[in-house]
Amino acid sequence: MSAEGEAREQGVVATTPIPVDLATIESVLTSLWRNEEAAPGSSLGVLTRACMSNLLIVCRGRDQAELVAREVDEIVSRQPSRVILLVFDVLTEGRPAALEAAVSAHCHRSGGGSRQVCSEMVRICAGGDDVRKLPSAARSLIIGDLPTSLWWDTPTPPPLAGDLFHELMPMADQVVYSSFQWPDPIAGTLETADWVNGLQPGEPVVMDLAWRGLRPWRQLISQSLDPSVLPGAIEGLSEVEIEHGSHGLPQAWLLAGWIASALGWVPGERTVVKGREISWRFHGAAGDVGLVVRRTEGVEPPVCRVKTAWRADGRKAALTFAPAGPVHLAATAEGFDAETKMLMSPRATRASLVAAELQQLEPDEVFRGALLVARRLAENLSLT
Amino acid sequence: MADAQAKNPLTVGTDSLSTARPCTLVIFGGSGDLSRRKLLPALYNLALDGVLPTNFAVVAFAINDFDDDRYRAFAREGVEKYSRRPADPALWADYERSLFYVPGKFDDPHAYETLKKKLEEVESRFGIPGNRVIYLSIPPSLIGTCVEHLQAAGLVTPEGQGPFTRIIVEKPFGHDLESARRLNSILLNVFDERQVYRIDHYLGKETVQSLLVMRFGNAIFEPLWNQKYIDHVQITVAEEEGVGTRGGYYEEAGALRDMVQNHILQLLCITAMEPPWSMNADVVRDYKLAVLKGLRPITGKDVETHVVRAQYGPGFVDGVDVPGYRREDKVNPNSSTETFVALKLFVDNWRWAGVPFYLRTGKRLPKRASEIAVQFKAVPQVLFTQNPGAPIEPNVLALRIQPDEGLSLKITTKRPGPKLRIWPVLMDFRYDTTYGNVSPEAYERLLLDVMAGDATLFMRRDAVEASWKWVDNILDAWSHSGTRWLPEYPAGTWGPLEAEKLIRSDDREWRAL
C-alpha cells in the first residue's frame, strides 16, 4: 500500500482509504494484504492480519462517518475485526451520492511491539435510492463463521429505524445502539423495551452502550453496599437519587431499573415532575423507596452522581457515588465513618464501549430486567 | 461481624471477574522477589482493570525494616520493571494508598500482635469486613511457624463462621510424600481444606485454561482424544536459564521435584482427564485426581528404562559461555542433583491405554519454551506414495504455554503445481495477534480466584499427595541405585543422548521447539 499512514492514539496506524469498485472489494483486500506481507519494509512493517468479528456500522452522512472512522482504530485495537461501515443519506455536491466504496487497513503493535496486528475497513456510502443497495453490499462482505455485530450509530432507536435496519438485523448476532442519541427518550425507551422483550431465541442479542457505560457504577455500588461491608444497607434503602446530563435520561432509568429489578422493587404509579427533577415511588419488601432522577445542565450526558440512602440504627446513612478526577469513580459516606472508596474507571469512550460489547455475545438478562423497569418509568411519565 | 458470604442481589449478572469479595491480602514475605516481580504488578493490573474489590488493601509482613512509604516505593519499582502495563502516575496514588507494611520476624509473637493491630486499623479504614487472604511467600520450612502464630494471634477465622480467611501456599508442597503429608497436616490443623489454595502459577496461564475449552468446547477434538487416534503426547517445559541464585534450593529439589511433580503432572492431568460433569472446582479436581491415580507406577528397574536424568555441563547459551551446574553458586561440586529429566509414562485407563506420554524438562536448554503436543496416528500410507522414503507426516496439535501462547495444528496439504507434492503446513493461532492484546499474567487470574473463592485452578491435598506418591517411586529407585553418576549435557543443548535414546527406542522423536 503506497498510502501514507496516520499515527493515532494507542499507536494505531490507519492507511488512507483506497477507493474501489464494489465488485472488486474482496480482490483488492486480498492483494492489499499480499503486498504488505511480501514487503516487510513497507509503511506498516511486519504484520499479521487478524479478524475475530464482523462489525457492521451504520451511520448517517459523511461527517458522522468521519467521526466513526476515527473510532474504528480504537475498536479494532481491542477486537480485531472486519469493519463494514455503511453510510446513508450521503450527498455529493448537494445531491444524493451514488454508491461508492473504499478500503483501508488499521494496524496496531502487538507482541511486544515486534509485529503489527491489522484489521480492515470497507466504507460504503450511498445517498437517495442507492441506500437500498447497502444491505446487499454488506451481505456479500460478511465473513462467514465469524460473529457479526451491528452497531446502529444513528439517533433513531432500532425498532423505529425502518427498512435499512430491518434488512441488516438478520445478518447480525448482536445489535448495539446508544440511547444517548435519542431525541425522544420516552418513545425510545417504550419502543425499544417492547422490541427487546419480544426478541426470540436465535434473534440478535441487543445492547445499549449506555448500559455498558454503567458497569463501573454497578460494580462500585454493588460492592460498596455489599452486606458484608454495610449490613442492612441494601434491605433498608429508602432513597435513590440519580443525576445525569442532557440526553442521559434513558441511562438513568436503566440504572434505576437495575437496582429495582435486582431488589424486587415494583414501580408505583405516582410520578412527579418538578422542573428538571422527576420522582417515582417504588414498593419494596421493606417499604416504599423514593427515586429522584435529576438533569444537570452543562455536563456530559452520562449519569454523573448517584446517592443511595438508608436508615441504620435509627440514623440516616448515605453513600454518594460520583467521578473523582478523570480516572476514578468514588463512593463517599455520609452519616457513618468510612474511607472514601475509589474504583479505577478511566472515562469510557464510545469506541471502548463498543469494543467491550463486541466481546460479549451472550444475552444479558440483567439488562433486559433493567430495561423493563425503565419502560414502566417511561410509561408513567408519558401518562403524567 | 456480619457473615461475609451474605447474598448481594446487586452482584447478580456481573461477570465472575468482578465477584472478588472485599478483603485484605496479607503477604508474608511481602518484600521478597515474588512480590516485587509478580504479586504487586499483578495487583496493579487488576486495579487498572477495575476488577479488584472496592474494599481492598494489601498488608505486607516481612523481616525488612520497611515502613509504608518505603514499601510503596518498593512496589512502584516492581511495577515499573515487571508490570505488563507501565505505572501510570495518575493512577498510582490511588493504588498505593491501599499498600501497607508491617516489619517483623515470622517467629515473633509480638510481630503478629502488631500485624493484627494493623489489619484491624486497615480494615476499619477501608470498610473491609474482616475477610483475609494470607499469601505465604516464604520458604516451606517457615510455614508451620507462621500458621501456628497466625492461629495463636487470632488471625484465622474458621471456615463458615464469619469473615473468610484463606491461605495461599506456594510450591514446593513438600519434598516427598511424607513431607507433603506433614505440611498438609500442619495446614489442616489450623485451616479447613476449603481455605487452603495451593498455587501453581502454570495453571493460571491462558493456554492451560484454554486447553479445557479447546478439548470440551470443540466437537472436532474430543472424539479423537483417545488411544484410537493419538499416537503419543509430548509435554516439554524447557528453561534457558540455569539455577542462578537458587542453587541452594535446587540442590535439595532437582528437576523432578521442581517441575515434574507439580507443573508437568498438572499439565498432564488437564490433557488426559475425562470430561467433568461440571466446572465446579471440586468436580474438575476430582477428574484431575483420577488421572494421577491412573498413572502407571514406574518402579525398580523400570526407572532405568523409562526415566532419564542428567545435569548440564558448561556450554553456550545465546553465544555466551556459561558454567556447568556443579560450578554454580551454592551448588555442591560433586552434586548428583538432576537439572534435566525425560520420562515416558502411561495412564492406565480405557482412553489412554498404550499411549505413551513423554515428558521432559530441564535447565540450560536452548530456549525457554513450554508446550503440550498431541501427535495423532499416521494415515495409512497408501494413496500418496510417490516417495516411500518420505511418508506423510502425522497431524500434531501443539499448545504453546510460553512464550507466544497459542496453538498450532500441523496438517498435510498439496503444494500448488502440476505435480502431486505433499507438504505439511501449520495452522497457527496466537493469543496476542488474534485477540490483539497481551494476555493477563497467571497471577492476576489466580489472585482474583482466591478473592472470589474459586479453587478450580488450585491443587487439592489429595492431588498433591497422589503426585508425590507417584514421584516417590522414581526418587526411591534413584536413591537405591547406588550411582552418583549422571549423564551430562552441554548447556544450550536439548539434553543428553540418553533422552534421545529413550524416545527413539519407540521409533519416535522429540519435537524440535
Taken in order of first residue, the domains within chain B and their CATH numbers are: 2-172 (3.40.50.720), 204-377+432-439+459-504 (3.30.360.10)
3-class SS of residue A353: helix
State how far Cα B406 lies from the chain centre: 17
Q: Which of A7-11, A91-95, A229-233, B233-237 has the highest mean pLDDT?
A: B233-237
Interchain pair A327, B128: CB under 8 A: no
Joined together, the cell numbers standing for residue A23 give 465488485
What are the CA-CA distances from residue B461 to residues B168, B177, B276 (Å)?
Answer: 13, 11, 19
Mean pLDDT along residues B105-109: 94
Q: How far is A379 from chain B (nearest CA, A)?
A: 25
Q: Which chain A residue's Cα is nearest to B55?
A: A341
Interchain pair B432, A228: CB under 8 A: no
Mean pLDDT along residues B282-293: 94
Mean pLDDT along residues B31-41: 93
Q: How many helices (H) and strands (E) does chain B have?
A: 16, 17
Interchain pair B94, A228: CB under 8 A: no
Instruction: Give backbone dihedrals phi and psi of B328, rounded to 5 degrees, phi first.
Output: -75, 160
Instruction: Give the separation between CA B340 and CA B318, rounded to whole angstroms.
Output: 19
Q: Among A343-357, B25-39, B451-465, where is mean pLDDT lowest?
A: A343-357
Please determine, for residue A8, whether its predicted confidence score (pLDDT) is greater than 60.
Answer: no
Q: Where are the alpha helices (DSSP H) in B129-176?
A: 143-152
Tell me the sheet residues that pair with B344: B358
- Length of chain A counted residue by residue: 384
Joined together, the cell numbers standing for residue A78 give 481491542
Please determine, for residue B62, whether its predicted confidence score (pLDDT) is greater than 90.
Answer: yes
CA dihedral B250, B255, B257, B263 (to 10 degrees): 120
Mean pLDDT along residues B292-315: 95
Q: How far is A33 from chain B (nearest CA, A)?
A: 16
CA dihedral B390, B395, B401, B405 (to 10 degrees): 100
Instruction: Give the separation between CA B210 and CA A266, rounded to whole angstroms.
Output: 43
Q: How far is A356 from chain B (nearest CA, A)?
A: 12
B136 or B92, higher pLDDT: B136
- ∠ at Cα A347 (A344, A350), nearest 5°? 135
Please tell me which of the candidates B11, B49, B436 has its beta carbon nearest to residue A222. Answer: B11
Instruction: Give the separation between CA B463 and CA B178, rounded to whole angstroms.
Output: 14
Residues of B with catalytic roles: 263
Spell out the residues 6+ positions from residue A247 whose beta carbon is closer than 8 angstroms to its own: A180, A181, A182, A185, A301
Interchain pair B8, A259: CB under 8 A: no
Interchain pair B7, A227: CB under 8 A: yes
For residue B426, the model assigns a pLDDT of 85
Chain B residues with CB under 8 Å of A77 CB are 436-437
Mean pLDDT along residues A246-254: 92
Please determine, for residue A192, whether its predicted confidence score (pLDDT) is greater than 50.
Answer: yes
pLDDT digits (tens, 9 = 90+) for A196-231: 999 988 899 999 999 999 999 998 999 899 888 888
Mean pLDDT along residues B432-455: 84
Residue of B11, B45, B54 for testing the chain A interface, max A β-carbons within 10 Å: B54
Residue with cell 470430561: B275
pLDDT digits (tens, 9 = 90+) for B145-179: 999 999 999 999 999 888 999 999 998 888 899 99
Instruction: Give the separation between CA A48 and CA B119, rounded to whole angstroms.
Output: 49
Q: Which helix (H) or strand (E) holds A63?
A: helix A61-78
Interchain pair B10, A327: CB under 8 A: no
pLDDT digits (tens, 9 = 90+) for A24-66: 888 888 877 776 655 544 555 556 777 889 999 999 999 999 9
Neighbour count for residue B156 (Cβ, 10 Å): 17
Please tell me which of the candidates B8, B432, B434 has its beta carbon nearest to residue A226. Answer: B8
Chain B residues 146-175 with a CB less than 8 Å from chain A: 163
Spell out the residues 6+ positions from residue A59 whose beta carbon is closer than 8 angstroms to its own: A65, A68, A85, A86, A87, A88, A153, A154
Please determine, for residue A326, whether its predicted confidence score (pLDDT) is greater than 80.
Answer: no
Question: pTM of the full predicted structure?
Answer: 0.81
pLDDT band at B387 (very low <50, low <70, confident <90, very high): low
Beta strands in A160-312 (DSSP E): 174-177, 205-208, 237-244, 266-274, 277-284, 287-295, 303-312
Pairing of strands A287-295, A237-244: parallel
pLDDT band at A114 (very low <50, low <70, confident <90, very high): low
State how far Cα A325 lies from the chain centre: 22
Residue with cell 435486582: A262
Q: Which chain A residue's Cα is nearest to B6?
A: A227
Instruction: Give the separation between CA A239 and CA A161, rounded to whole angstroms.
Output: 37
Instruction: Give the separation between CA B45 and CA B506, rounded to whole angstroms.
Output: 47
pLDDT band at B306 (very low <50, low <70, confident <90, very high): very high
Chain A residues with CB under 8 Å of B131 CB are 228
pLDDT digits (tens, 9 = 90+) for B249-270: 899 889 999 999 999 999 999 9
Q: How far is B368 from chain A (nearest CA, A)?
A: 16
Q: Is the dihedral of CA B187, B44, A10, A209 positive or negative?
A: positive
Please determine, for residue A274, whether its predicted confidence score (pLDDT) is greater than 80.
Answer: no
Q: Which helix (H) or strand (E) holds B70?
A: helix B68-82
Instruction: Give backbone dihedrals phi and psi of A9, rounded to 5 degrees, phi first.
Output: -55, 155
Neighbour count for residue B507 (Cβ, 10 Å): 6
CB B230 within 8 A of CB B166: no
ipTM over 0.90: no
For residue A52, the model assigns a pLDDT of 84
Nearest CA to B459 among B268, B277, B200?
B200
Q: Which chain A residue's Cα is nearest to B128?
A: A229
User: What's the mean pLDDT when you consider all of chain B?
Assistant: 90
User: What's the mean pLDDT when you consider all of chain A?
Assistant: 86
CB A258 within 8 A of CB A370: yes
